Amino acid sequence: MITFFKRWMTQQTDGLTAAAFIVGSSSLASRILGIFRDRVLAGTFGAGMQLDAYYAAFRLPDTAYNLVILGAVSAGFIPVFTAWMEKEGKESAMRLAARVLSAVGLVLIAASLFIIVFAPVLIPWLAPGFTAEGNKLAVDLTRVMALSPIFLGLSAVVGGVMQSMRRFIGFALAPVFYNLGIIAGTMFFGPEIGVMGAAVGVVLGALMHLIVQSVAATGVGFWPPAAPNFKDPGVRKILTLMGPRMAALGVSQISLTVLFAVATLTETGAVAVFNLSNNIQSFPLGLFGISFAIAAFPALSRAAGASDDEGYRQTLSSAGRKICFFVIPATAVFFLLRAQIVRLVLGQGVFGWEDTIRTADMLGIMALSLVAQSLSPLLIRALYARQDTWTPFLISVFAEATTIISALVLHGPFGLRGIGIAFSVGATVQAIILLIVLRKRFGRLGQGETLYSVYRTVIATVALCVVGFPIREWLGTIYPLETVWQVALQAGGTMLFGGLAFLVAAWIMKSSELEELAHGIKSKFMRKTRLVEGAEQAR
């Protein structure tokens, strides 16, 4: 059994759609657990001071993780490791990974110690609207959660190796165990130590994240840890590439921190409402946008390394079309059913109707930029595959500056809603500029197929709204929507008939994405086929 489990965790996955399916399936499980996690948090603590402090406490550890790990792995490590393995061989590439692992661990230990020591100084700047009690609670929570970036950082490097070797299962499962840790901490420790139990769960989940990836890496010859060597050519190359990415993430973290700070000045519970809304609307973002971006990144890197411009364009176009096919109708569903979704996901315990309405308003505003948010990870990785990290950085600076200025201007007249508007405006600006840059450099993606595909998806989504909206209103007049089952009936009926309208319209217009999806499902469950590499195959 143990041998079978290890073999399953380390098996290689060929094909963009197959890799995206693995990552997406695990992402779905993780997102469902994330929803349950938020339901437990909201039902236990409500959208008030405790949950505000919990989310504010995430800022410093999350910033350390994002700057060091996302900058190193996404921008520098995977492209360099992939190229190193092709040119220098697996053994040399594993030695490089070992040096990076040691360097990351050393840096994150130092960052965690810094956070623990200076949390009382930094938290008042991050949350100027908190009371003295809220500040103290946020500081205590921050010091506990400061341990989590160490485990997550080491896990991310191991996951980068696994992605580069096309072994996605361990990487995909790790977030599931991370959420399980948070849920366990909240449910088992929360009744005794309050919101501090959730913080303990964060550390537990981060440790489980590392363990899962480590188990997956045992069967692929991962080199044992070695002393960091910053003079190593590969390490220096990674550092060179990650610099702009770290700067871009720094700008993003500053923008998010400003949004948090402004939210604390609007109303109590604003930080919790912002985070809960963001987590819900991130469901399709993680399920489709991130999954296809992660799955396409190694293929984009290989095509760029081989100077295969046509393969590069086709991979990018195929992934982009698939993202739009899933995310555009998801945007419509989230906007139509924002109140129903929030009530079903979070409506229990001390999370009442007032909290539901505030969160639903924010969810509807943020969901308007879902397509832009989902495309950006793919477009950014497309530039990273070309080992261009400066262009995404400059675009990020402009987009985040737009977000900050919009938040400062809009929070006065619109309150908390103004922060949601600023968030969506910044995300949309970033995606548009990225598309313009890629189009200018590499020409039309998919020779016009992309725009035509998006056009068909939009028309099918209009059919979803035309059918779904009256169904929602009709069911709302029949039932008073006072119980969970009545709300679920309204949401389920709207999604069922609206979804059928979408599929029929897409079928009538002969959507290639729908055909690939149907063919992939048929191949998966009706006959055994070999997974092949390619942008258009959905085997």
Q: pLDDT by residue (tens digit) across 252-306? A: 778 888 887 888 887 777 888 888 898 888 888 877 888 788 788 878 888 887 7
pLDDT > 50? residue 362 = yes
**pLDDT band at 224, cuts 50/70/90?**
low
* More confidently predicted of 170 and 146: 146
pLDDT > 50? residue 1 = no
Cα 476-468-518 angle, rounded to 5 deg = 140
Whether residue 395 contacts residue 333, with contact meaning beta carbons closer than 8 Å, is answered with no
- Work out the widest C-alpha separation in the chain, in whole angstroms: 71
pLDDT digits (tens, 9 = 90+) for 102-137: 887 888 899 899 999 999 998 888 888 888 888 899
Tokens representing residue 528 in the block: 């055994």
Region 450-478: mean pLDDT is 89
* More confidently predicted of 493 and 304: 493
Give residue limits of the domains in the chain: 2-447, 448-528
How far does the chain reach from its first CA to its final CA, in angstroms? 28
pLDDT > 90? residue 519 = no
How many other CB atoms sit within 10 Å of the CB of residue 86? 14
Q: Among residues 222, 240, 206, 40, which one has the least CA distance to residue 108?
A: 206
Question: What whole-number percentage of the chain has pLDDT above 90?
Answer: 25
Q: What is the pTM of this model?
A: 0.70
pLDDT > 50? residue 537 = no
Q: Calculate the average pLDDT of the chain.
A: 81
d(CA 400, CA 378): 18
Whether residue 396 contacts residue 251, with contact meaning beta carbons closer than 8 Å, is answered with yes
- Give the least confident one: 94-98, 382-386, 428-432: 94-98
pLDDT digits (tens, 9 = 90+) for 227-260: 666 677 777 777 777 766 677 677 777 888 888 7
pLDDT at position 466, please?
Answer: 94
